[in-house]
């Protein structure tokens, strides 16, 4: 034991990471305070202390709220994975006799990460022996990582998966909606047309290329009009810009609904009908038994309002 090197002394602790994640998902200290059951001044002090200890600014303070800097984005990505792994370590320590099968997991769409960590906590209780590790670094190109053996399981929206060596099953589907300010010229329309989307700027997140292509095909068919699209890193930022009347937000309904209680935003759909986006789970065949257990457990954690399977 004397030969074991002392571990590094991190400048942040678990509480700091939870504060940073809450701020990144909420966009304001007030909303983060409500999530963390703290006062707003306590959250502000915690953020300033974390930035001072790291010697780096983690968030830009903008009229739209708090937006992660490059350093903040790096910390959010690592903190999500670290907290999941810490919870998994605690689970293994409490039940050391259970043999563990490790599954490396990623989501193709960043919006699912507000649901997945809490779902994984629930899954650990129902999946003894499965060690689920988030590989968020492969979010932008999960299929390539899956083929290369750097992932075992991927939750996908629109990316194509090779048939040889892989299995794919439907998981659920969500609906893509359009959100505008109550004062926006489109707010009085019963439904939106393709011409409306051509004429007005669109606001969306950092969507993968395959999903952007899927959207264009679903809405415009073979046409490829030049659209004015602004990409923002956070759902809250997208909605704040829409709230200011500066564009049409294109978002998933299940992500957007919690932000629509004030009456200053209006939801619109296409006149051609609902725009439903399929979610699938794909995995390498060699982890088939464990992946099917995960699929069955994930289906039980799907948020309300989504079509399962």
Structure confidence by residue, pLDDT tens digits, 22-55 = 888 778 888 888 878 889 999 999 999 999 999 9
Among the listed residues 186, 153, 177, the one whose alpha carbon sits nearest the alpha carbon of residue 167: 153
Task: Give 112's DSSP letter.
Answer: G
CATH 1.20.910.10 assigned to 14-94: no
The structural architecture, per CATH, of the domain 175-276 is 3-Layer(aba) Sandwich (3.40)
CA-CA-CA-CA torsion sign (174, 118, 45, 50):
negative
- Cα–Cα distance, 31 to 250 (Å, whole number): 23
Element holding 200 (H helix, E strand): none
Tell me, what's the pLDDT at 81? 77
Return phi, psi of residue 127, to 5°.
-125, 65
225-237 exposure pattern, b = at least 16 Cβ within 10 A, e = fewer: eebeeeebbbbbb
Return phi, psi of residue 283, to 5°.
-150, 160
Please name the residue ranges forming H helices in the chain: 14-26, 29-36, 40-54, 70-94, 116-126, 142-147, 194-199, 209-220, 235-243, 253-256, 288-299
Any bridge partners for residue 246, and if so which? none
- Cα–Cα distance, 176 to 270 (Å, whole number): 10
Kindly give the interhelix angle for 40-54 and 14-26, rounded to the nearest 10 degrees: 110
Report CA Rg, the chain: 21
Residue-wise pLDDT for 118-143, tens only, equals 667 666 666 667 777 888 788 878 88
- Cα–Cα distance, 207 to 118 (Å, whole number): 22
- Cα–Cα distance, 131 to 73 (Å, whole number): 25
- Cβ-based neighbours of 127, under 8 Å, separated by 6 or more: 293, 294, 297
Same fold, 14-94 and 101-172+277-300: no
Tokens coding 202: 């669109």
Tell me, what's the pLDDT at 189? 92
Tell me, what's the pLDDT at 59? 92
Place of tokens 């990471």: 17
pLDDT tens digits for the chain (309 residues)? 455 556 667 888 888 988 988 888 778 888 888 878 889 999 999 999 999 999 999 999 888 788 889 998 888 888 877 887 787 777 667 665 555 678 888 887 766 666 666 667 666 666 667 777 888 788 878 889 999 999 999 988 888 888 888 999 888 888 899 999 999 999 999 999 999 999 999 999 877 777 888 899 999 999 999 999 998 877 888 999 999 999 999 998 877 887 787 889 999 999 998 898 888 889 999 888 888 888 877 776 666 555 555
Residue 296 CA to chain centroid, in angstroms? 21
CATH of domain 101-172+277-300: 3.40.190.10
Count of residues in the chain: 309
- Find the angle CA(89)-CA(93)-CA(96) to the nearest 5 degrees: 120
Going from N- to C-terminal start, the domains of the chain cover 14-94, 101-172+277-300, 175-276
Pairing type for strands 59-62 and 65-68 reads antiparallel
- Cα–Cα distance, 17 to 108 (Å, whole number): 23
Tell me, what's the pLDDT at 1? 46
Tell me, what's the pLDDT at 91? 67
Contact assessment for residue 154 and residue 168, using Cβ atoms and an 8 Å cutoff: no
């Amino acid at each position: 034991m004397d030969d074991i090197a002392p571990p590094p002394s991190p400048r942040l602790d678990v509480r700091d990471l939870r504060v940073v994640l809450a701020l990144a998902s909420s966009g304001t200290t007030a909303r983060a305070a409500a999530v963390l059951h703290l006062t707003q001044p306590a959250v502000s002090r915690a953020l300033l202390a974390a930035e001072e200890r790291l010697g780096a600014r983690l968030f830009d303070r903008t009229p739209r709220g708090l937006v992660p800097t490059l350093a903040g984005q790096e910390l959010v990505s690592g903190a999500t994975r670290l907290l999941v792994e810490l919870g998994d370590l605690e689970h293994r320590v409490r039940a050391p006799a259970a043999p563990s099968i490790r599954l490396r997991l990623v989501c193709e769409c960043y919006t699912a990460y507000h649901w997945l960590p809490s779902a994984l906590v629930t899954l650990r209780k129902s999946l003894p022996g499965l060690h689920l590790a988030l590989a968020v670094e492969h979010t932008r190109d999960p299929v390539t990582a899956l083929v290369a053996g750097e992932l075992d399981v991927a939750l996908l929206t629109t990316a194509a998966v090779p048939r040889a060596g892989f299995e794919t099953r439907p998981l659920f589907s969500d609906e893509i909606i359009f959100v505008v300010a109550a004062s926006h010229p489109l707010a009085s329309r019963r439904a939106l047309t393709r011409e409306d989307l051509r004429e007005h700027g669109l606001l969306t997140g950092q969507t993968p290329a395959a999903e952007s292509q899927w959207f264009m095909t679903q809405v415009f068919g073979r046409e490829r009009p030049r659209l004015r699209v602004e990409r923002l890193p956070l759902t809250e930022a997208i909605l704040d810009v829409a709230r200011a009347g500066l564009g049409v937000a294109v978002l998933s309904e299940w992500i957007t609904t919690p932000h629509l209680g004030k009456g200053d935003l209006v939801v619109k759909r296409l006149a051609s009908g609902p725009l439903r986006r399929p979610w699938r789970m794909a995995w390498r065949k060699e982890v088939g038994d464990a992946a099917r257990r995960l699929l069955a457990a994930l289906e039980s954690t799907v948020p309300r309002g989504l079509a399962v399977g």
